[in-house]
Structure 1
């Protein structure tokens, strides 16, 4: 097993001092203090290739907490590292230091001046949250980076972030007016205009000294600072040069705060930022230019920018293909393609006059015709279409990182910026460099300013480190030839820190060292970044060094699909050398998480409900993936997947599968939880509660006899409460009531198991009635059957003679009893295959059950039969929509007495892109106004919401958006939810009965005129 590396440069306090350090922090701070291995491990990585275990983690509750943490760290001499979203790609936010995470509580927004267009924010404010807050005022902060849903303003300042529209609005340094920060000696200071720094200011001596250095190095500054917009390396000493061709301030004033922008937390700790805002564009149009060759796209960019666009962004062929493989992105990308282009340029025009933007779009079409590419532009004028395509572009990094196998696109030269007139030659020659080293590069991002995010595909576990060094040296020579910048947007960190001296020369590099010592004489603020940075290929700092191994682990599911290699040049998977080892596959599936933090978003989508209520990295998809990765590498814990660290990290995971869809790299935490739960059960056994819940499908047939009696006993508080407590259920949660046996009552109407040779009747379907809809809510099954029969279908039910009804095994999976789940799956497969072979669709009602046939069944080793069953399995609404599209559905519906419907989508419906059909079939009902509730998980999640230790979290998830939306819906609206758990949560939390869509359709049928 590999060992968690320590920084080769930072200085760790002695163990006794560390204990006192931790104890003091716990005594004096109100916020979170974590020094355990699991918590530290979750902060040991960012979105880079590096990993360094921090000393500990502090999440300050407020500004006072922040001051105390800095004071205590200074007393003990401990290094400190500011951290926001942890999305840095160069290793800026990893170090052997006390990590201070500002993203949870230091999120205040205040002091908005609409007329002056300024606002002051704390460093933990997320960019998208700020812009949502500003939107009613007609303003926005225009440094629109692709990680806007999760990155923080403090982190953006530390990196000098840029964004897609920097060609119009500039970089972070052009949009920050001032900062409040704490100096290394504990004094607080305001960093603003240099000419306003008085003699009593804590910055007076520092400003004088830095200005003197800038005057002394004026000649070197003019010679070595790249004259391109995208330049973020080193410290911004050129801010004092009023003749700078790319000024920091249009009036020529020097702002001392700009020295902190891009300093990566090495000079001071930022507490607040004052930002310059811009008017929100009223209208936008987007022209998507399709290019037959990548070279043409790069060569023609210089002409396109002459049209005055707000953005020109590149999407290359690799990114197009990977996006087409993602069900969330495929429909959007397909609408933008003309044939099979080798590259796309997304050209946006924005302003206050729509006619003006439309004229610019027409000019773009004319220009492309003049350049020899007529009919190459797809125009998007609808806001929703534009937003959808920009979301694909913003997910570029994650899309690129969705490649399976050990070889990944590696970040180290992705920010080189060159003048536009050289962009085509530069990219062409850099591609030749990649080919000489046996690899290919992925390209995307900011064509408008000559900064393309290019990442060669390398395997750092093998020969990737040596290739990285060789490619970097050749790339740097190209950058110098074209007078560009080696560090153009994402900062220096570790991967580009050693190149600061190369870019700026020995004199300026020494000057940067002087500035660092002036501000931080003890080298405690994010030490050894920008100044004295270790080598980019120091293997001790790699997340996956050459000796990286995983511990032996027995898997329950088939993970071999992830244990593949990829040919970097062809992109083919499974080239010779693939092992197909399920255990290796599990580790590599976990490693698909690239730490970009997309799961931290709050705007739309399902993931991650537990993070949304906790704001705790431990309960985040990324945090869980890091925990699993470290455990599988033997770097934390000593019991593998059964360890307490894993159980703690997965405790609030509700297996919503939101990450399966919303995570651009497809990290499937629900599937990982099955493996971890199984390992835990093998080691510790099952509780009575777990046995009771998991065995539900087996004892349900006889519970119908005592279901009503059990319900009456539950209402006796002294008896029901005691029983619930003993089993571990929450007293305040009502339990489901067994209410009959739909399949048993319908058995006389069901055909016996058909012969494989039976002819295929027209309109034949099998209704898969799950345990919940059979024993608890049989009216849903009855309604679905009536709708199907009304539409002319012959309906079979999922029973076989007198045997127990078929089951998907979902309850067993939730309890980690994969062997039992496979038994149920095998029985189900054998019964359903004769129908499948005859072309009969298997139609289900409960999303979590039916979609198990399309998901987990595929990982049981059933081979072709499992695949065919998965292809035949459809949710009720999916089947109706498919039949309608095929012209076979004849379903007449009449208006309802209630004219509005509010619809909540089950998490698994969203994960499998199966929620849209629910909205579609409801819209078939005349005069019904249908509206989807924008919500994450309902929080019930099977038995999760019944459990005494989880009921509070369950209710908090429901209160995020679902229950408030239902309370606001009014009594005159239908509440529709296909999930049995969702319906129970809605009834318990809002006192409203929610209906399965089949019952709504049945009601429309019942009013049909005959």
Structure 2
């Protein structure tokens, strides 16, 4: 039995061993699921050292985690998850003159870029998850992003790193002169041993490494440990300018070699202000592959691909449908070609050249150009790709299995031809999108991982793709890493000898397996510990909401793929997810709620599926704002799920008094309007107000809303609307319970505005909206209210006399 109380006593941070946190951290954005032993939130490097000491004592592994957006299962495993995003998220130093920054690993990329933008600087690699991904995770995966044509990968900008090694000692990794490296090799420490092992391995196997690693010209090459990168230093060849720097190896090591506590990163000047995006509409995918090579000749800063599947799914997404403004017809694919120059004239000149060149080759049928703030809308649509794909209804989804292969761009058409033939042979459909300019397409075959046959295909398509990648001398991973998904195929790609060198590297750095064991090397079979099990079926139950469009309630829940859009900061607009923004805790995200629902609906801990404490706990802090319905690319609607689950829970366990009183708020308000001043006195008075909050189980600091001196309906009855010879028309105003009893002044302004515009305002006979009942999950009550309103209003509202409302949630 592991004594986590001991770790709790020795740490300043938090240690969570409850089942809810285990469920929440059992998955990332990949296809994998495995329950961790515990979740730890360290506050600083000393806490990390305590974690390492504890792990060594108990023979367990630590799994470093930041935003949890990994696609290859890097942060899933049977160990202790160490989440740095909650506390270790400070920018420590910014050096404007020398263009570098020193940060903790939990700093969010876009938040850093906001800090340094006023200095005319930014961090070059830009991932599609930039509004929530952390810099520590970017180093772990060696992330690249859409503009890697210009800015390369995170490895190219990692200058130095403060790490804690597996023996608990600190080391500062940085570029070193030859004499410094030799001095390090003589030290009788783990750090000294690492330098000695690394140098001797490279000296003894230099030719073998160069021969079997992917083409050095390939910009995106993230398979295995990057031991070859250490060769390109002046230690081994004076022709190279760079110093010997173990940071080159650290980047892309997925937290398996050391635990990062500080990073020193290179910053670059902001790109030219004058930009344009050409959205090349292609008739076929093959046309896009060839057109990419044409566009590359004109030195764009980025070229990205969106295929027909993503474009089609974007039609049904509330947030992204408006970003389709540039799409004409139904293209098989669109190439997003971004240009950046010092003047608008130069931008248009290059754009003209690209369009002319494309037309000369017969590529593309429509070439809209986008400028200014509209460019961000195009990129928003592109970045939403992963989430949109997860919104595909049903059990079959575009899965992450071969989504990260990369080959040289000139080899891409031939590689894709071979790939297409393989798909046809296996009878699979696939989604194509992302970084076509650097030869990396995110390829997602559509598979149902609850089906045994598709699970066999999951492995087979991975194996056959690995052979194709080797044939075209590419990389199994361009930026997402190997994790537990691709590690199994590293020997196939590199050969057994080079793979053995990678195993030696892990053993040298981490002989006891303290850090993220069984990732990259010595991985378990790639088709084990999947999120879904063979034979899993949808939970069949009668639901109050209609989930037929999503093909069932469970399928609606499973639209959450774990991409973590709900973790974005308040600084980047939108509303999702307010409870996470207030607490910065993973358990208060949309993702956590969906994960918990999915886990306990399919693997219930009790016989009563709708009476499980963990679900009630995780749903309790959802404020039912429905921001996730519009802002989540997968349209995950937690407010709807919450209401459905609560009604199912009440059917089994009864309705709690607090929920009953809140749901019946309108009836209480109606009674209190007889003496509104008396009601207001009670709720405003400190003693009686606090007593009422205790009875209702409200937070002490929460304000109970007061009643207005009159109701909106009563005010309108006394209000004299302007006598006009001619009115524009009549409107029915729905006086919802909030506007009618509490926020009456807003309703008054609404009526006065409509009157000024020439409308006669009528409040028809209707009952409450049912909003409070839905919020508390009393769907039977809400359904009755809705039915009554329909009966009252159906013969009144016409095309000429509309019904308008004020409160958005009603």
TM-score interval (norm. to shorter): over 0.9
Query: Post-superposition shift, 1:80?
Result: 0.7
User: Is the 1:637–1:645 Cα contact (8 Å) retained in structure 2?
Assistant: no
Query: Post-superposition shift, 1:444?
Result: 0.7
Separation in 2, partners of 1:778, 1:310: 54
- Unmatched 5+ stretches in structure 2: 721-726
Partner of 2:511 in structure 1? 521
Separation in 2, partners of 1:786, 1:449: 59
User: Is the 2:282–2:288 Cα contact (8 Å) retained in structure 1?
Assistant: yes
Question: 2:135 aligned with 1:160, yes or no?
Answer: no
Separation in 2, partners of 1:837, 1:128: 48
SS in 2 for 1:81: strand
Query: Post-superposition shift, 1:456?
Result: 0.5
Query: Post-superposition shift, 1:30?
Result: 2.0
Question: 2:121 aligned with 1:143, yes or no?
Answer: no
Query: Post-superposition shift, 1:837?
Result: 5.8
SS in 1 for 2:495: helix
Query: Post-superposition shift, 1:260?
Result: 1.3
Question: 2:770 aligned with 1:809, yes or no?
Answer: yes
* Paired residue total: 789
Deviation digits for residues 740-783 of structure 1, max 9, x if unmatched? 34335657999xxxxxxxxxx98343211112222334444444
- TM-score, structure 2 length as denominator? 0.93
User: Is the 1:431–1:440 Cα contact (8 Å) retained in structure 2?
Assistant: no
Separation in 2, partners of 1:248, 1:327: 56
User: Is the 1:401–1:594 Cα contact (8 Å) retained in structure 2?
Assistant: yes
User: Is the 1:642–1:676 Cα contact (8 Å) retained in structure 2?
Assistant: no
Pick closer, same or farther for the CA change 1:337–1:553 going to 2, 3 Å.
closer
Question: 2:727 aligned with 1:769, yes or no?
Answer: no
Partner of 1:670 in structure 2? 639
Separation in 1, partners of 2:330, 2:689: 64
Residues 723-738 of structure 1: matches in 2 within 5 Å? 723-729=692-698, 733-738=703-708
Separation in 1, partners of 2:169, 2:481: 27
User: Is the 2:159–2:247 Cα contact (8 Å) retained in structure 1?
Assistant: yes
User: Is the 2:282–2:365 Cα contact (8 Å) retained in structure 1?
Assistant: no
Partner of 2:10 in structure 1? 28
Separation in 1, partners of 2:244, 2:545: 61
- Unmatched 5+ stretches in structure 1: 1-15, 564-584, 751-760, 800-804, 850-1010
Pick closer, same or farther for the CA change 1:836–1:474 going to 2, 3 Å.
farther
Question: 2:543 aligned with 1:595, yes or no?
Answer: no
Partner of 1:173 in structure 2? 155
SS in 2 for 1:23: helix
Partner of 1:797 in structure 2? 763
Partner of 1:51 in structure 2? 33
Query: Post-superposition shift, 1:103?
Result: 0.6
Q: 2:414 aligns with which of 409, 425, 430?
A: 425
Partner of 1:993 in structure 2? none
Partner of 1:616 in structure 2? 585
Separation in 1, partners of 2:376, 2:63: 35
Separation in 2, partners of 1:714, 1:472: 64
Question: 2:180 aligned with 1:210, yes or no?
Answer: no
Separation in 2, partners of 1:784, 1:706: 26
Partner of 2:550 in structure 1? 562
Query: Post-superposition shift, 1:470?
Result: 2.3
Question: 2:470 aligned with 1:472, yes or no?
Answer: no
What is the RMSD computed on CA atoms of the aligned residues? 2.4
Separation in 2, partners of 1:192, 1:58: 28
SS in 2 for 1:65: helix
- TM-score, structure 1 length as denominator? 0.75
Pick closer, same or farther for the CA change 1:202–1:338 going to 2, 3 Å.
same
User: Is the 1:248–1:254 Cα contact (8 Å) retained in structure 2?
Assistant: no
Separation in 2, partners of 1:27, 1:736: 46
Separation in 2, partners of 1:132, 1:656: 27
Pick closer, same or farther for the CA change 1:194–1:204 going to 2, 3 Å.
farther
Pick closer, same or farther for the CA change 1:265–1:674 going to 2, 3 Å.
same
Partner of 2:313 in structure 1? 322
Separation in 1, partners of 2:248, 2:491: 21
Q: 1:232 aligns with which of 222, 226, 231?
A: 222
User: Is the 2:281–2:364 Cα contact (8 Å) retained in structure 1?
Assistant: no
Partner of 1:388 in structure 2? 377
Separation in 2, partners of 1:745, 1:161: 61
Query: Post-superposition shift, 1:345?
Result: 1.0
Q: Which has the higher contact order (CA 8 A, sep 6+)?
A: 2
Structure 1 stretch displaced more, 322-331 or 153-162: 322-331
Query: Post-superposition shift, 1:340?
Result: 2.9
Query: Post-superposition shift, 1:814?
Result: 1.9
Residues 741-780 of structure 1: matches in 2 within 5 Å? 741-743=711-713, 763-780=729-746
Separation in 2, partners of 1:395, 1:315: 11
Partner of 1:62 in structure 2? 44
SS in 2 for 1:328: helix
Separation in 2, partners of 1:52, 1:641: 23
Residues 113-152 of structure 1: matches in 2 within 5 Å? 113-152=95-134
Pick closer, same or farther for the CA change 1:731–1:426 going to 2, 3 Å.
closer
SS in 1 for 2:349: helix
SS in 1 for 2:318: coil
Question: 2:80 aligned with 1:98, yes or no?
Answer: yes
Partner of 1:286 in structure 2? 277
Pick closer, same or farther for the CA change 1:638–1:72 going to 2, 3 Å.
farther
Separation in 1, partners of 2:611, 2:327: 47
Pick closer, same or farther for the CA change 1:411–1:728 going to 2, 3 Å.
closer
Structure 1 stretch displaced more, 761-770 or 173-182: 761-770
SS in 2 for 1:560: coil
Q: 2:576 aligns with which of 569, 585, 607?
A: 607
Separation in 2, partners of 1:248, 1:635: 62
Question: 2:311 aligned with 1:311, yes or no?
Answer: no
Partner of 1:879 in structure 2? none
Pick closer, same or farther for the CA change 1:591–1:731 going to 2, 3 Å.
closer
Separation in 2, partners of 1:724, 1:267: 52
Structure 1 stretches of at least 4 aligned residues deviating more than 6 Å after TM superposition: 247-250, 747-750
Pick closer, same or farther for the CA change 1:467–1:331 going to 2, 3 Å.
same
Pick closer, same or farther for the CA change 1:274–1:351 going to 2, 3 Å.
farther
Separation in 2, partners of 1:446, 1:211: 34
Partner of 1:825 in structure 2? 786
Structure 1 stretch displaced more, 487-496 or 633-642: 633-642
SS in 2 for 1:488: coil
Question: 2:430 aligned with 1:441, yes or no?
Answer: yes
User: Is the 2:53–2:168 Cα contact (8 Å) retained in structure 1?
Assistant: yes
SS in 2 for 1:848: coil
Query: Post-superposition shift, 1:838?
Result: 5.7
Pick closer, same or farther for the CA change 1:768–1:134 going to 2, 3 Å.
same
Query: Post-superposition shift, 1:823?
Result: 0.7
Residues 364-513 of structure 1: matches in 2 within 5 Å? 364-373=354-363, 376-382=366-372, 384-462=373-451, 463-513=453-503
Partner of 1:6 in structure 2? none
